[in-house]
Chains A and B, each alone.
Chain A
Amino acid sequence: MNAFQQFFFDLSEEHPRWNFIFFYDPVQTERVLSGLWMTIQLSVVCVILSVLIGLVGAWLQGAHSRLVRAVVQGYIQFFRNTPPLIQLLFFYFALGQFTPTYSPDGWLEVPIISNVGWAIISLSFFAGAFNVEIFRAGIEAVPESTREAAESLGMNRLQAFIYVVFPLAFRVSLPALNNNLVNLVKTTTQALAIAVPELLYQMVSIYNDYSTAQNACMVVLFVVYIGLVGILVTGMNAWERAARVPGYGQ
Chain B
Amino acid sequence: MPANSWTPDQPIVAIHDLHKSFGALEVLKGVSLEVMKGEVICIIGPSGSGKSTLIRCINALNPVDSGSILVEGQEVNDPAVDKLALRKKVGMVFQQYNLFPHKTALQNVMMAPLKVLKQPRGEVEKRARALLTRVNLEGKEDSYPGELSGGQQQRVAIARSLAMNPDVMLFDEVTAALDPETVKEVLVAIKDLAQSGMTCILVTHEMGFAREVADHIYFTDRGVIVEHGPPATFFTESSDPRTREFLSQIL
Question: Which one of A4-12, A26-34, A54-62, A242-250 is at the B interface?
Answer: A242-250
B147 x A153 contact (CB < 8 A): no
Min C-beta distance of A95 to chain B, whole Å: 41
Question: Which one of A97-105, A154-162, A199-207 is at the B interface?
Answer: A154-162
Q: B91-125: which residues lie under 8 A (CB-CB) from chain A?
A: 91-92, 94, 96, 98-102, 111-112, 115-117
Contact-residue size bin, chain A (C-beta under 8 Å from the other chain): 20 to 34
Bound Cα distance A245, B144 (Å): 7
A246 x B164 contact (CB < 8 A): no
B residues within 8 A CB of A151?
A: 61, 83, 87
Q: Does B84 touch A at the CB level, under 8 Å?
A: yes
B100 x A247 contact (CB < 8 A): no
Q: B154-175: which residues lie under 8 A (CB-CB) from chain A?
A: 157, 160-161, 164
Of the residues B59, B83, B96, B100, contact of A150 by C-beta under 8 Å: B100
Bound Cα distance A247, B101 (Å): 8
B102 x A171 contact (CB < 8 A): yes
B102 x A152 contact (CB < 8 A): no
Q: A154-B84, A163-B111 are in contact. Are A248 and B116 (CB under 8 A)?
A: no
A163 x B94 contact (CB < 8 A): no
Q: B134-153: which residues lie under 8 A (CB-CB) from chain A?
A: 144-147
Min C-beta distance of A40 to chain B, whole Å: 32
B144 x A247 contact (CB < 8 A): yes
Interface size on B, residues (CB 8 A): 28
Can you name the residue of chain A whose Cβ is closest to the Cβ of B88? A154
Min C-beta distance of A242 to chain B, whole Å: 12
Q: Does A119 touch B at the CB level, under 8 Å?
A: no
A residues within 8 A CB of B116?
A: 153-155, 159
B111 x A153 contact (CB < 8 A): yes
B residues within 8 A CB of A159?
A: 115-116
Q: A146-B100, A164-B100, A168-B102 are in contact. Are A152 and B92 (CB under 8 A)?
A: yes
A154 x B112 contact (CB < 8 A): yes
B residues within 8 A CB of A155?
A: 112, 115-116
Can you name the residue of chain B whose Cβ is closest to the Cβ of A170? B102
A247 x B146 contact (CB < 8 A): yes
A156 x B144 contact (CB < 8 A): no
B144 x A248 contact (CB < 8 A): yes
B101 x A245 contact (CB < 8 A): yes
Can you name the residue of chain B whose Cβ is closest to the Cβ of A162? B115
Bound Cα distance A150, B92 (Å): 10
B147 x A246 contact (CB < 8 A): yes
29 residue pairs bridging A and B, Cβ less than 8 Å apart: A143-B98, A148-B94, A149-B92, A149-B94, A149-B157, A150-B100, A151-B61, A151-B87, A152-B91, A152-B92, A153-B87, A153-B111, A153-B116, A153-B160, A154-B83, A154-B87, A154-B88, A154-B116, A154-B117, A155-B115, A156-B83, A163-B100, A168-B102, A245-B101, A245-B102, A245-B146, A246-B147, A247-B144, A247-B147
Pairs A-B, 6 closest by C-beta atoms: A247-B146, A149-B98, A153-B112, A154-B87, A154-B116, A248-B101
**Chain A interface residues (CB < 8 Å from chain B):** 143, 145-146, 148-156, 159, 163-164, 167-168, 171, 245-248
